[in-house]
Structure 1
Amino acid sequence: MEYKAKYITDDIKLSCYEDKFFKSDIMFEHHMLIWFISGETKIVQADASYVFQKGDIFLIPRNQLATIINYPKDGEPHKTVVMHLSVERLRDFYANLEVKPEALLSKKIYSFDNHPLLESCLASLVPYFEMKDLPENIASLKITEAISILRAIDKGIDNVLTNFEEPGKIDLAGYMEKNFMFNLPLEKFGYLTGRSLTTFKRDFSRIFNTTPQRWLTQKRLELAHYQFVEKKKKPIDVCYEVGFENLSHFSFAFKKQFGYAPTELIERVRT
């Protein structure tokens, strides 16, 4: 995989993947505003999946888990402009505004299609990636412009952007049953459930009577089996969507668990 990235600042980058595809399980520490120049992305969350293509603009709220699969398309690389909207910057933006946000009931991904104002704002960043010296205030002004446009076109976006809370201690069993397919370090799962790593492992062992690693592997393989039988999906798709990092390791683990390889199961289902 050949990956290239150019930065205006740490919060604004031009990202480009030129190989077949790139897959990653991610916890978003910042809100991310993304504009597609070319290529395609599939985003898989616990209860929803999305496909974004050339021209699309979307916002991913912070502290969410997702599997990201990036593809080149139509002979063009996967290329995006990515803008991070950090808590610090948003606090500064809202400091002098009288905003009373409502409780955030869902953490969906917000799609803005190819809205002309947002597209103009993000497209105007592209020439800056070729400059060696950029005035410090340019990037800040562009981020402020993007936030202002988001507020103008979505009246409920304040509820998302002013949510500065860190995850509190929540029901561990329910959270893990919903999010086991995301291949993240245990420290991240601990953070998202409001626990230190030590407390996470202790609570996990008490609830599930096994280690997190063993439980996660079994749950992912069971989900893979279901995807093959009920959804008729391909091994390459199932492998990445249930939390494995490469097909050979997935196939080995699957056969060890069930006694037959994914290809054998698929042939059996077909007949």
Structure 2
Amino acid sequence: MEYQVNYINPEIKLSNYTGKLFKTEAAFDDHLLVWLISGETKIIQADERFIFGGGSTFLIPRNQLATIINIPKDGLPHKAVAMHLSVKRLREFYGTENRKQKVAPNRIFSFKKHPLLESCLASLIPYFEMQENFPENIASLKITEAISILTTIDKDIDSILANFEEPDKIDLAAFMDKNFMFNMPLEKFGYLTGRSLTTFKRDFHKIFNVTPQRWLTKKRLDLAHYELAEKNKKPIEVYYEIGFENLSHFSYAFKKQFGYSPTELIGQK
């Protein structure tokens, strides 16, 4: 089996992937604390990229659009423990404590090696071998322990974890121009811009005078054309970074828009 996920409970999982690469595009509903045991993870955001190797620990904040590419490396599978830090859990942790908040930075958090954090996450491994259901009270303790350690080792983390606000209505054109390459459902784009799906579609048409689907496809293909023609990238390097699920669909859509395939474009140079 190329991809396997073992769950301690719905909030804690161990993934093991042995294929060439595994890609997902997401804006998670929960903060995701990841301990990468082996392999490599690339995270692509609109204006920044991250590469994490085995032994890394990082936090993907909720509602952050990103393409996540997991790759086995050095003969080892991509193996990682992921813990969901939900708003519900965080509200229980922070309670009524009044912490002065900074503006939450729009970035991935990477944590330096720390014995408390490493031991907390490593202690989860034996539980994945259990055949019976993992007790909820112990899972809750593990999540609370992880949150406590994060707030101890990184004083800036409260600005992310203690921020329970939902997305406000923001400039739709600016957001879409920045994030069009992420293959999200329209409902998610609407939510992240502070709109219902109906309002999102209405506002989008007012601004761009075209449907979101057509606009997104054209923008992604224009970017792909630039990457191929000007940056000398290969089609297989481009398609999964601009919101296409597979190479054949990308090639078909590219030829339909430009009249020639990605390989023909490269051959013209």
Alignment TM class, shorter chain as reference: over 0.9
| Inter-partner Cα distance in structure 1 for 2:4 and 2:249 | 27
> 1:138 — aligned with what?
138
Deviations 1:162-221 (A, max 9, x none): 110111111111110000000011111111111111111111111001010100000000
Contact 1:12–1:82 at 8 Å: present in 2 too?
yes
> 1:16 — aligned with what?
16
TM-score (norm 1): 0.95
Deviations 1:68-90 (A, max 9, x none): 11111112211100001000000
The amino acid of 1:136's aligned partner reads: E
Runs (4 or more) in structure 1 with deviation over 3 Å come to none
> 2:117 — aligned with what?
118
Deviations 1:92-131 (A, max 9, x none): 1001433121222x21001114333211110110001111
> 2:182 — aligned with what?
182
Contact 2:220–2:242 at 8 Å: present in 1 too?
yes
The amino acid of 1:120's aligned partner reads: S
Contact 1:57–1:115 at 8 Å: present in 2 too?
no
Q: What is the DSSP-based 3-state SS (H/G/I as helix, E as strand, rest coil) of the residue aligned with 2:266?
A: helix
Task: Note the C-alpha offset of 1:5.
Answer: 1.1
> 2:66 — aligned with what?
66
Task: Note the C-alpha offset of 1:255.
Answer: 1.4
CA-atom RMSD, angstroms?
1.3
Pairing 1:1-271 to 2, within 5 Å after superposition? 2-104=2-104, 106-131=105-130, 132-269=132-269
| Inter-partner Cα distance in structure 2 for 1:3 and 1:250 | 24
| Inter-partner Cα distance in structure 2 for 1:115 and 1:230 | 43
Distance 1:183 1:133, change over 3 A: closer
The amino acid of 1:20's aligned partner reads: K
Question: Which piece of structure 1 moves more, 237-246 or 144-153?
Answer: 144-153
Deviations 1:9-29 (A, max 9, x none): 111110122222111111111
Extract unaligned runs of 5+ from structure 2: none
| Inter-partner Cα distance in structure 1 for 2:267 and 2:122 | 48
The amino acid of 1:112's aligned partner reads: F
Task: Note the C-alpha offset of 1:136.
Answer: 2.5
| Inter-partner Cα distance in structure 2 for 1:77 and 1:140 | 28
Task: Note the C-alpha offset of 1:268.
Answer: 2.9
Q: What is the DSSP-based 3-state SS (H/G/I as helix, E as strand, rest coil) of the residue aligned with 1:47?
A: coil
Contact 1:31–1:86 at 8 Å: present in 2 too?
yes
| Inter-partner Cα distance in structure 1 for 2:117 and 2:192 | 31
Contact 2:221–2:254 at 8 Å: present in 1 too?
yes
Extract unaligned runs of 5+ from structure 1: none
The amino acid of 2:197's aligned partner reads: L
Q: What is the DSSP-based 3-state SS (H/G/I as helix, E as strand, rest coil) of the residue aligned with 2:59?
A: strand
Deviations 1:140-172 (A, max 9, x none): 111111111111111111111011011111111
Q: What is the DSSP-based 3-state SS (H/G/I as helix, E as strand, rest coil) of the residue aligned with 2:24?
A: strand
Contact 1:36–1:55 at 8 Å: present in 2 too?
yes
Q: What is the DSSP-based 3-state SS (H/G/I as helix, E as strand, rest coil) of the residue aligned with 1:152?
A: helix
Aligned length: 268
TM-score (norm 2): 0.96
Q: What is the DSSP-based 3-state SS (H/G/I as helix, E as strand, rest coil) of the residue aligned with 1:166?
A: coil
Q: What is the DSSP-based 3-state SS (H/G/I as helix, E as strand, rest coil) of the residue aligned with 2:216?
A: helix
Q: What is the DSSP-based 3-state SS (H/G/I as helix, E as strand, rest coil) of the residue aligned with 1:100?
A: coil
Identity percentage of aligned residues? 70
